[in-house]
Amino acid sequence: MDISLLGNFLDYTFFVKVFSSVLLGFVIGLEREMTNKYAGLRTNILVCLGACIFTIISIYGFPEVSVSGDELGTRDTARVAAQVVTGIGFVGGGAVLRHGATILGLTTAATLWISASIGMACGVGLYGLAIAGTILTLATLVSVRVFERSVLIKSTKNTKRLKVAITCLNQNSENIYSSIIEKYSHLREISKKLNKSDENLTKIVVILDVSARKPIQTMYKEFQKIEGIESVSIQEFNEMI
């Protein structure tokens, strides 16, 4: 092995680069972990560190290409690092989930993408850019979430989809069914069938979107006002983000 190459890799600057990528990846991952997202601390740290290492390899790991004799050609130091930009898409794609018409995980995938770019910035020694990118990423994730909750609470982006299971006596089922359809025009789905365990009871299942800070509590109070309902069960499908 080339001693000079070994000396380069033992240079403290490499340790500074990889350590900074781990630290900044940790900062972004911590925000994702605290909000219970799919890609948390470990994923963001590893993405940021991996992008940093690939960038270092791209710059220092390949010698100049010999054209003829002692003449050296120009090498492309970005050939490996460039693949990180597209390659991270496979990791980000794994964080995107689809539930019916709702798409989840796009923000998480974008966060992994920016983590890779911050790792690459560390790899080339652009620490100011890496730190600025980390601060702006955190500011975007936190401030936009606060803005959405306080200002855009009624938007589709903040709508919760609920599944409401209602049990009632057979003689009350028609009135309850009609009352729900009349009151909630934004229904996604509603069904009615006899309870298998008790033929005197009817089960009505309602799926609807609700814009509220506490959707389950809000809907529970509203359904309690409907006469004839024996029991109500409410389940949140997901947050439409």
Q: How high is the pLDDT of residue 189?
A: 84
Q: Considering the chain, what is the average pLDDT of its residues?
A: 76
Q: What is the mean pLDDT of residues 118-133?
A: 88
- Nearest CA to 54 out of 84, 77, 25 is that of 84
pLDDT at 241: 38
| Distance separating alpha carbons of residues 3 and 9, to the nearest angstrom | 10
Residue 211 gets the label, from left (phi > 0), alpha (psi -120 to 50) or beta, of: beta
Domain boundaries, given as residue ranges, for the chain: 3-150, 156-239
* Range 36-65 average pLDDT: 78
Q: The domain 156-239: what is its CATH number?
A: 3.30.70.260
Percent of the chain with pLDDT over 90: 0
For residue 210, pLDDT over 70 is answered with: yes
What's this model's pTM, rounded to 2 decimal places? 0.54
pLDDT of res. 1: 40
Q: What is the pLDDT of residues 43-56, one digit of tens each?
A: 888 888 888 888 88
